[in-house]
Amino acid sequence: MDYLAQLASNKILISSVLAWALAQILKTLINFLSTREFNPERLFGSGGMPSSHSATVCALVTAVAMEYGMGDYEFAMAAVFAIIVMYDAMNVRREAGEHAKWINLIATTLQPDIPLERKFKEYLGHTPLQVLMGGILGIAVAFAVM
């Protein structure tokens, strides 16, 4: 039971998880407002506005900075982790999503009568604006929790 109390009092973890959850909820609402259709996959899926990856790691790095300062190794580790995740979201995963769109288009064009049993997932990465908005959300959540 002591472990649960420790988890419940870990403001760094709470900041990160809360930022992720809020980003996913916002992403679902924004998607609903733009398409007028509820897509439950948006609650847990990647891609979209705002970036939940960026919200999570920015909340993490901000909370670590507030807890330990920016001169310790904890901040350095969190900052490097955040940079890698945000770079990956904007570049590697975004490009993979673009590839998936083209592959799906080519497959349906070449074989229009044969339904695809499994389309490649196209929502993978983020635009720079989506990453920025996720980052701002994460920082705000960390300030609110800490």
Q: What is the mean pLDDT of each run of 10 residues along the chain (146 residues)?
A: 85 97 94 88 83 96 97 95 91 75 78 68 78 96 96
Q: Alpha-carbon distance 119 to 138, whole Å?
A: 32
Which pLDDT belongs to residue 3? 87
**The model's pTM:** 0.81
Count the Cβ atoms, other than its own, within 10 Å of residue 122.
17
Which pLDDT belongs to residue 120? 72
Whether residue 95 contacts residue 127, with contact meaning beta carbons closer than 8 Å, is answered with no
Contacts of 30 (CB under 8 A, 6+ apart): 48, 49
What are the CA-CA distances from residue 95 to residues 1, 79, 102, 109 (Å)? 44, 24, 11, 21
Which pLDDT belongs to residue 116? 63
Q: Which two tokens stand for residue 33?
A: 């407002």
Q: Alpha-carbon distance 142 to 146, whole Å?
A: 6
